[in-house]
Structure 1
């Protein structure tokens, strides 16, 4: 299982996450600042939507069956990140 940690602090760090195709993967988002519209993260392509309470890590398992680049963003679609699923 690949586990990636993403810090949410006015943006996403790291902004681009790489995982391997076919290997189970989890993303854990931790919001450490109440700046901006980052209290929610979603991805239509990866089929998830999470509320991000301050200082409370939230984890989602993502599908890795297809290689490619998949966007995620804040609830208002103003701040973006990307998951790259490599072959």
Structure 2
């Protein structure tokens, strides 16, 4: 191997390590839902290259209202899936979409975009 091949290999390994760290080990934005009138737990989520916050903590047995504001027109983020609650919603660009659900048991429930690239979690306590 010559110097160029070594540098390209090291650069590729560095980029692969960064991708693994970003998707599996980077810090998550955790938010606890705020109970408003009527006991509804509400959280506002911005969709732009990911979900922010991407981890939402709620109490079980109380209704939850998630407000997804899609601040982009990237095709990956145009659909929201929450399979454990049988929810599939279109997220129009630059609009807010309300998703309401009632968690009946504690646990961690994943939500993703239609392609599975963007990920978040609903943690029910």
User: What aligned pairs does 1:28-67 form with structure 2 within 5 A after superposition?
Assistant: 28-35=67-74, 37-67=76-106
- CA-based RMSD: 1.0
SS of 1:45's partner is helix
TM-score (norm 1): 0.93
C-alpha distance in 2, partners of 1:68/1:3? 18
Structure having the higher strand fraction is 1
Q: What displacement does 1:63 show?
A: 2.2
- The answer for unaligned runs of 5 or more in structure 2 is 1-39
The one-character-per-residue Cα deviations of 1:4-28 (angstroms, maximum 9, x if unpaired) are 1110000000000011011111111
Cα pair 1:41 1:51 within 8 Å, conserved: yes
C-alpha distance in 2, partners of 1:80/1:20? 21
More deviation, 33-42/48-57: 33-42
Look at both structures and tell me which one has the larger radius of gyration over its CA atoms: 2
Q: Give the match for residue 81 of structure 1.
A: 120
More deviation, 49-58/31-40: 31-40
Greater relative contact order (CA < 8 Å, ≥ 6 in sequence): 1
The one-character-per-residue Cα deviations of 1:8-64 (angstroms, maximum 9, x if unpaired) are 000000000011011111111110012350011111112211101111100111121
Runs of 4+ in 1 over 6 A off after TM superposition: none
Structure having the higher helix fraction is 2
Q: Do structure 1's residue 18 and structure 2's residue 49 form an aligned pair?
A: no
